[in-house]
Amino acid sequence: MKMKLYKYCDLDGEYYITEAQIITEYFPYWSKQMDKVGRKHLINYKNCIEDFCVVHWAVEVKDYGE
């Protein structure tokens, strides 16, 4: 399965991140927060990636440099 690539921006610049990086870097924090607010039943990689995209205004990149 091919990992998707996402692009997001903040005050310091433009960044690219893969689904694998989101899971490695964001999932531990995100899943703890979801558990704290009683949403344990929603904890999975797909929901984590979707939430990361919403929070960071990340968009999928079809071609690197897009």
Predicted structure pTM score: 0.87
CA distances from 38 to 2, 8, 17, 25, 33 (A): 32, 28, 28, 22, 9
Strand 59-61 relative to strand 13-18, pairing: unpaired
The neighbour count for residue 49, using CB atoms within 10 Å, is 20
What's the pLDDT tens digit per position in 2-54?
789 999 999 999 999 999 999 999 999 999 999 999 999 999 999 999 999 99
Whether residue 1 has pLDDT greater than 80: no
Where residue 64 falls among pLDDT bands split at 50, 70, 90?
A: low
pLDDT, residue 66, reads: 46
